[in-house]
Amino acid sequence: MSSRVSPLTPHSSPRFNSLPPLSLYIHVPWCVRKCPYCDFNSHEARGTLPEDEYLAALLADLEFALPQVWGRPVLTVFIGGGTPSLLSVRALDALLSGVRARLPLAADAEITLEANPGTVEAEKFAGFRAAGVNRLSLGIQSLNDRHLKALGRIHDAGEARRAAELALSTFDNVNLDLMYGLPGQTQDEAEADIAAVIALAPQHVSAYHLTIEPNTYFHRYPPVVPDDDAAAAMQEVVETRLAAAGYAHYETSAFARPDRQCRHNLNYWSFGDYLGIGAGAHSKISFKNNILRFSCARQPKAYLTQLAAGSAVSERRELGAAELPGEFMMNALRLNNGFELSLFADRTGLDLTHVLPVLDQAEARGLLLRDHRGVRPTPLGQRFLNDLLALFLP
Ligand SMILES: C[S@@+](CC[C@H](N)C(=O)[O-])C[C@H]1O[C@@H](n2cnc3c(N)ncnc32)[C@H](O)[C@@H]1O
Ligand code: SF4
């Protein structure tokens, strides 16, 4: 007699015939000024950046991690922050050369750099491109001076527009980050922002609803932001405008022209592997019979000190088989087109039978759609994503 196995108690540990695609994330933890809404691992840079010391640390970090990914090609690199565009062209060039010398980078690797729209950064775009960056992600946030000021940004709308234009004439793959639901923002202003972003014609747009995160200035001193209904109406207009302009909505906040989806983020969302180096960077690496997560010390000083003493890894743990279905779904169900059924076994190393009963249950509740090829969230499932994901938790 066959019995179905609950995803809460998979009876086997992961087993991989071939390992998932591998990405590299590099964290640069400094910004000119800390934005009042930001809970990323970013720290105000006082004085000059210790970029040579940090560069040496990143390469030492990478060398230390190498045995975990030995021989595996790296398909994408993402240099994020913080504000990595604060690095000099010389340091970025040395960083990418150091990466290439240590890891087999795929010939067509996507190499993204996050940049802020300041004039000083924009002057370096051509140099960043010559160093090997082929995708630029520019945090413009808004094209309205009043809102940029309320967000504590150091750039104004004119600088954002000029930096976007320069980025688009330098790179043929550019993402613009936009936020909506901003302090004091009206529906018309949100619509004007998305229209202005579309007029710039980037290949990719990331549009985020401003969230008030714990441990931020905005959490301590909350600004007046549009209520849930108003923010939902803004989201609607952002999505409609982008769809009409030919951008496919492929993940909660991500929109792309055909073939311009972010391959690095897609690898996260399809539960691929990633090695993270730099302060606070996280890694998820699969081996033949298990999956490990580890992360580095968050504070730049602690990161540098720990690395000098050996390894900067401050936390390391093996993912239990019972956690894998939830971890996989938390990523894959963010994708509007969901995932092909075979991806579950490919990425978790577990048999699909572990989750079939829960997929049935979610489908019966109208949260998922399933056919012979794949699984994707329904609009109801997208709206109540947390309820949907809870079904897969141990
Ligand atoms: C890692 S951040 C850094 C990029 C770059 N330093 C910048 O701020 O322009 C990436 C993006 O996350 C978004 N973001 C950061 N904090 C947010 C928040 N509290 N709510 C919504 N989006 C946020 C912003 O659009 C930002 O550009
Ligand atoms: S510039 Fe970006 S990373 Fe830096 S504090 Fe502002 S939002 Fe955070």
Q: Pocket residues for ligand 1 (CB within 6 Å)?
A: 37-38, 40, 80-81, 83, 114, 116, 139, 141, 177, 179, 208, 210-211, 213
Residue 310: the pLDDT is 85
Tokens read off for 32: 């000119």
pLDDT in tens, 231-289: 999 999 999 999 999 999 999 999 999 999 999 999 999 999 999 999 999 999 999 99
In which band, very low, low, confident or very high, does the pLDDT at 23 lie, cut at 50, 70 and 90? Answer: very high
| Residue 239 C-beta-side C-alpha neighbours within 13 Å | 14
Residue 48: the pLDDT is 87
Percent of the chain with pLDDT over 90: 90
Residue 3 pLDDT exceeds 50: no
Average pLDDT score over the chain = 94
Residue 9: the pLDDT is 55
Q: How far is the CA of 211 from the centre of ligand 1 (A)?
A: 10
Residue 381 pLDDT exceeds 80: yes
Q: Would you give the DSSP letter of residue 69?
A: G
Residue 308 pLDDT exceeds 50: yes
Nearest of 126, 36, 47 to residue 85 by alpha carbon: 126
Q: How far is the CA of 190 from the centre of ligand 2 (A)?
A: 21
Q: What is the dihedral of CA 266, 270, 274, 278, to 10 degrees?
A: 60
In which band, very low, low, confident or very high, does the pLDDT at 390 lie, cut at 50, 70 and 90? Answer: very high
Q: Would you give the DSSP letter of residue 9?
A: S
Q: Poorest-confidence range of 11-20, 106-115, 257-266, 385-394?
A: 11-20
Between CA 79 and CA 335 the distance in angstroms is 22
| Residues constituting the chain | 394
267 Cβ closer than 6 Å to some ligand 2 atom? no
pLDDT in tens, 96-125: 999 999 999 999 999 999 999 987 788 999
Nearest of 235, 167, 158 to residue 202 by alpha carbon: 167
Segment 149-168 mean pLDDT:
96
Residue 11: the pLDDT is 56
Residue located via tokens 């001193």: 221
Residue 66 pLDDT exceeds 80: yes
Residue 307 pLDDT exceeds 60: yes
**SS3 for 104?**
coil
Between CA 68 and CA 243 the distance in angstroms is 41
**SS3 for 122?**
helix
60 or 312, greater pLDDT: 60
Q: How far is the CA of 18 from the centre of ligand 1 (A)?
A: 35
Between CA 223 and CA 188 the distance in angstroms is 19
Sign of CA dihedral 183, 46, 84, 29: negative
Residue 386: the pLDDT is 93
Q: Poorest-confidence range of 11-25, 157-171, 207-221?
A: 11-25
Between CA 380 and CA 384 the distance in angstroms is 6
Residue 372: the pLDDT is 82
Between CA 140 and CA 197 the distance in angstroms is 9
| Nearest-CA residue for atom 25 of ligand 1 | 177
| Nearest-CA residue for atom 7 of ligand 2 | 38
Determine contact, residues 278/300, Cβ cutoff 8 Å: no
34 Cβ closer than 6 Å to some ligand 2 atom? yes
Nearest of 248, 303, 250, 280 to residue 57 by alpha carbon: 303
Tokens read off for 161: 């527009």
Nearest of 2, 1, 9 to residue 355 by alpha carbon: 9
Nearest of 368, 371, 364 to residue 388 by alpha carbon: 368
Q: Poorest-confidence range of 53-67, 96-110, 305-319?
A: 305-319
In which band, very low, low, confident or very high, does the pLDDT at 7 lie, cut at 50, 70 and 90? Answer: very low
Burial of 170 (0-12, 13-18, 19+ CB in 10 A): middle
Segment 200-216 mean pLDDT:
97
Between CA 390 and CA 333 the distance in angstroms is 12
Pocket test for ligand 1, best of 38, 44, 209, 220 (most atoms within 8 A of CB): 38
Residue 348 pLDDT exceeds 80: yes
Percent of the chain with pLDDT over 70: 97
